[in-house]
A and B are shown apart, each in its own frame.
Chain A
Amino acid sequence: EDQVTQSPEALRLQEGESSSLNCSYTVSGLRGLFWYRQDPGKGPEFLFTLYSAGEEKEKERLKATLTKKESFLHITAPKPEDSATYLCAVQAVGDDKIIFGKGTRLHILP
């Protein structure tokens, strides 16, 4: 069964304190992995898509990486406005759907 596990469930950091969020996945054949950001009371907003192991994508203070079993979302020198829930999702080859993890709630303290 395809599965996505995110860790930690919640993370509190001081402003400027870099860290990483983990997304472990089990899928029969990976077509792609997605990262989304969700602010309270809003719908998820697309951040990155990764296709193959070794691939990296960057956007401002965020960098997403992918291996054959997991993906990391690295946050460098975060700011309070980076506080949000970060969701990871995977799509299997031949599947119309994507499967979401439960998310990591990130709180950046000023």
Chain B
Amino acid sequence: NAGVTQTPKFRVLKTGQSMTLLCAQDMNHEYMYWYRQDPGMGLRLIHYSVGEGTTAKGEVPDGYNVSRLKKQNFLLGLESAAPSQTSVYFCASSYHGTSLAKNIQYFGAGTRLSVL
């Protein structure tokens, strides 16, 4: 049982390049989230999805796009990377239901991205 797996673990991009970060979960969770974590800023929500085929904007969505074509996968795309997007990116997933215990988010190990 792998939980939440993020690919790749590290990446260095040049300004203007594009890339896609992949998040896969094997817990049959409905909800999936993408966060970025920067020193002194905490975890900030980029985009999230409440089910297959759905996406919604979070706190800092500009410069990112997402897709949820399959329930188990959530992709984060950077079309034209900028140095301000240098960060650690975390994916999380959760059930959703009336029980608060079902709203616990489980996180991947992160992707460390540097944009030069």
A interface residues with partner B (beta carbon < 8 Å): 31-32, 34, 41-46, 49, 51, 87, 91, 96-98, 100-103
Contacts and interface: CB of A to CB of B under 8 A. Distances in A.
A96 B109 contact: no
Interface in B42-89: 42-45, 48, 50, 56, 58
B100 A97 contact: no
B42 A102 contact: yes
B50 A102 contact: no
Of B35, B101, B103, B109, chain A has the most CB atoms within 10 Å of the CB of: B103
A46 B100 contact: no
B105 interface: yes
Interface residues of B, number: 27
Interface string B79-114: 000000000001010001000110111111110000
B99 to A, nearest CB: 10
The prevalent SS among residues of A at the interface is loop
A45 B4 CA distance: 12
A45 B92 CA distance: 11
A74 B6 CA distance: 32
B10 to A, nearest CB: 11
Kindly list the 3 A-B residue pairs having the minimum CB-CB distance in the complex, ordered from nearest: A43-B107, A102-B42, A100-B43
B41 interface: yes
A69 B108 CA distance: 30
